Amino acid sequence: MVSTFLSRIIGLVRVKYIVWLFGSGMDADALNGAFVLPDMISYFLVGGAASITFVTILTRYRETGREAEGQRSLSVILTTMYLVLGTALLLAEIFAPWYIHWWFNGFDAQKAALCVHLTRILLPAQLCFFAGGVFGAVLLVRKQFSVQAVAPLIYGMGTIVGGVLLQKRIGVSSLAIGTVAGAFFGPFLLNWIFARRAGTHYQPILDWHDEGLREWVRLSLPLMVGVSLVTADGWIIAHFASATSGAVSLMSYAKQLFTAPMAMLAQAAGAASMPFFASLWSKQRYYDFATGVADSVSRVTALGLLAASGMVALAAPLVELLFLGGRFSAVNSRECAAYFAVFSISLFLWSAQAIYARAFYAAGNTFVPMAAGTVVTLVSLPIYASLYSWHGTMGLAIASDCGIALQTLTIAVLLHRRHMVSLASLDYAELGRCLLAAMASGAAVWMFVWGVGRLPGHLLGAYLSTHLRITDSVLLVAGSALWVVIAKSVLEKTGSALPRVAMKRLGLR
């Protein structure tokens, strides 16, 4: 989790670089919109195979002592999907203009043309992500997680290096070229090198009768034909936001800032727990599986509640400190901070659903979460449309929270009804204590930040009042310290074991 969080810091540096150069103008909207089509193709064709279904398959081969067969199946699946994915990307290169005009119908002709150009540059990166994901699954099965944290670091640096070297010559296209280079050197090359060191040897093989390929298709096909709101949320927001100038960029920046803590809790915990859940299920240790999932959900939800309270209260100084400057104005900062605060409220839901979904995947059941996710996405579309109509782009952020709440509740109920993970086994007492601590600490910090913001300049000091970055830094440090003190005090007074466990894990007790 710590490694993933640190790699996300580089991701924020990448976002800061884009913000500084292009703010929320036409180039920024076009660049952020250009990622949607490649992501859609990868999602619907790959279907989570690399990070989800492939871990399940390789774990089964490993647990039954058939690693050689697993190696061959890896080669067959990778070769087959390279042909399929490569063909799809070629078609996407051709039909990109029609897609952009349909999905981003709010873009004017100039912005749409630039978005098409950038989309065509970014499309080949999906080949790197898929192959890197397959090789990364090999490492996950072997409980080697460090590469998964370092690869995004290299990916993020690719965008920055591309901009530094080429931005003055070719403008925003430099960032797209750097992104593709980062995808090759990070997610693909790094995973391939370490998987090869672990004994994985890829050979181009086509065998439609391979057992592993058939198993992969069985597990992945439901993920390919369905859609989860976890992924579709960003697509839907971009679709509606395209009608408002700059909104695609501002909401994208807020979402990417939100993904740093979300990655630490939801993605890292989910990826790390997946091999363990799959191993327990394959050994038919169903009670250990159920309690393990419930304990994991309880922990990440508790941490998500606490973290969300601080993120909401400190949203304004955090966004100003990270993004303000260059072509990103104070008005942009306030708007982005508001989106970030609303997104942050749902952090505990994103964290919980990541564990719940992987419980299904570890059990080899991808159809049920796919069907549920598709229904939730379809039901959520009118919510996005209605809230956007009533409250503009802020309505989209609220709709995002509503949608992920529905997604999490649906998956949790399905696991409960199938007697896989009982809702009764969650640690509600600890969750209640963390919610109380989150509300108390969050309210105190928010009042502190609001109060400091209303102080006249002569009380703040002439230097602080005219140097926003220093003021924001002071607010973040002081606010974070206040949040820790109050949260820790409330948790201890209510009998929570979390402070004691945290101190022990940090080596402070």
Q: What's the confidence (pLDDT) of residue 217?
A: 72
Average pLDDT over residues 62-69: 69
Token readout for 317 is 């100084």
Amino acid at 98: W
Q: What's the confidence (pLDDT) of residue 186?
A: 87
Residue 46 has pLDDT above 70, yes or no: no
Average pLDDT over residues 200-205: 76
Tell whether pTM > 0.85.
no
Average pLDDT over residues 57-82: 74
Indicate the Cα dihedral angle 234, 51, 227, 306, nearest 10°: -50
- The SS3 of residue 325 is strand
Identify which has the larger pLDDT, 86 or 467: 86
Work out the pLDDT band at 357, boundaries 50, 70, 90.
Answer: confident
Token readout for 82 is 């390279």
Which segment, 68-77, 376-385, 493-502, is predicted with the most confidence on average? 376-385
Tell me how far apart the alpha carbons of residues 76 and 65 are, in angstroms, rounded to a whole number: 19
Q: Quickly tell me which residue has 């598709």 as its tokens.
A: 374
Residue 458 has pLDDT above 50, yes or no: no
Q: What's the confidence (pLDDT) of residue 6?
A: 67
Which segment, 2-16, 69-83, 281-295, is predicted with the most confidence on average? 281-295
Kindly tell me the burial class for residue 77, based on how many C-beta atoms sit within 10 Å of its own C-beta (0-12, 13-18, 19 or more).
buried
- Decide if 106 contacts 243 (C-beta within 8 A): yes
Across the chain, mean pLDDT equals 84
Least confident span in 127-131, 425-429, 484-488: 127-131
- Decide if 320 contacts 341 (C-beta within 8 A): no
- The SS3 of residue 111 is helix
Name the nearest CA neighbour of 268 among 145, 356, 428, 367. 145
Tell me how far apart the alpha carbons of residues 208 and 507 are, in angstroms, rounded to a whole number: 53
Tell me how far apart the alpha carbons of residues 141 and 66 are, in angstroms, rounded to a whole number: 14
Measured between alpha carbons, how far is residue 149 from residues 125, 126, 127, 199 in Å?
A: 19, 19, 19, 21
DSSP state letters, 219-255? HHHHHHHS--HHHHHHHHHHHHHTTSTTHHHHHHHHH
Residue 226 has pLDDT above 80, yes or no: no
Report the alpha-carbon angle 95-98-101, nearest 5. 145
DSSP state letters, 163-223? HHHHHHHHTTHHHHHHHHHHHIIIIIIIHHHHHHHTT--------TT-HHHHHHHHHHHHH
Handedness of CA 269, 348, 227, 127 (dihedral sign): negative
Identify which has the larger pLDDT, 136 or 104: 104
Tell me how far apart the alpha carbons of residues 158 and 185 are, in angstroms, rounded to a whole number: 8
Name the nearest CA neighbour of 138 among 77, 228, 205, 226. 77
Q: What's the confidence (pLDDT) of residue 269?
A: 65
Q: What's the confidence (pLDDT) of residue 130?
A: 83
Work out the pLDDT band at 214, boundaries 50, 70, 90.
Answer: confident
Average pLDDT over residues 207-235: 75
- Decide if 80 contacts 72 (C-beta within 8 A): no
Least confident span in 30-39, 178-187, 207-216, 320-329: 207-216
Q: Which helix (H) or strand (E) holds 365?
A: none
Residue 506 has pLDDT above 60, yes or no: no
Percent of the chain topping pLDDT 70: 84
Q: What's the confidence (pLDDT) of residue 77?
A: 77
Work out the pLDDT band at 1, boundaries 50, 70, 90.
Answer: low
Average pLDDT over residues 312-318: 93
Residue range 392-451, pLDDT digits in tens: 999 999 999 999 999 999 999 999 999 999 999 999 999 999 999 999 999 999 999 888
Tell me how far apart the alpha carbons of residues 18 and 28 are, in angstroms, rounded to a whole number: 7
Identify which has the larger pLDDT, 198 or 354: 354
